[in-house]
Structure formats: C-alpha cells, structure tokens
Amino acid sequence: MTPFGRSLRDLRTKRKIAAKDMAAALGVSPAYLSALEHGRRGRPNRRFVHQVCQYFGIIWDEAEELQRLADLSHPRIVVDTAGLDPEATLLANLLAERIGELTQAQLIDLLNLLNAFETPKQKKRRG
C-alpha cells in the first residue's frame, strides 16, 4: 500500500462509500481504484487527485497534503545515484536490499531521521 492509497482508502471508508460507487463517480474502474489503494498502480496524475479532492470536498492544506502523498506514492521507485558520493549509492542499495525486513518502528525512525534534515533545495524554497 502507498501513502496515497492508504489515505484514499481511509477517506472512502470513513465516509462509508463503496469502492464501486466512488469509482463510478470518478469515471474509473473499481479495479483501478482498488489497485491504487493497494499500491499495485503507480502514482496518480494531478487531474485524478483533483477529482478526488472535489469528490470529497477537500480544499486547501488537506488537498495539498493529498497531492504530496500522491507525489510520494510510486511503488517501484528508482533511485539514481550516478554522480553522487559512494555513500549515497551504498545507502540506496542497502535500503533496497533491507526495506522489506524493517519493522514499522524502524521505518518510522528512518522517516523521522530523513525528515529532520533540511536539504539545500528546501532552504532555497523557504528563504
């Protein structure tokens, strides 16, 4: 399951909406919606995320967060470390090799660690 898929499923189930009804309203197949929710499809395009926001009446920060989750929800991500330090390649390979063995707590610890660092690109956007 992807972050977007989990969020989509949570929105749907909290409102007690059947997947087939939501799929029909969005103009997609129930199979596509299920694949999105379960992480068997790549990240959705912006148009689809916008349709979901309209369907649920989501605006402002919540809509931006849903789009951010969609952007971070590619289930088969490729990490290009060409031209980076060898440590970057090592990190990417170790993560790819071991991610399936990490516990939920370890995943959260790693996410918190990565989120604690502000990149130069983030500093530029902020400043």
Residue 52: the pLDDT is 98
116 φ, ψ (degrees, to nearest 5): -75, -20
- What is the model's pTM? 0.76
DSSP string computed for 69-97: HHHT--TT-----TTS-HHHHHHHHHHHH
Q: Please report the pLDDT score of residue 76 as a whole number.
A: 87
pLDDT digits (tens, 9 = 90+) for 75-125: 888 999 999 999 999 999 999 999 999 999 999 999 999 989 877 777 776
The band of 126, judged by pLDDT with boundaries at 50, 70 and 90, is low
Give me the pLDDT at residue 125, please: 64
pLDDT score at 118: 77
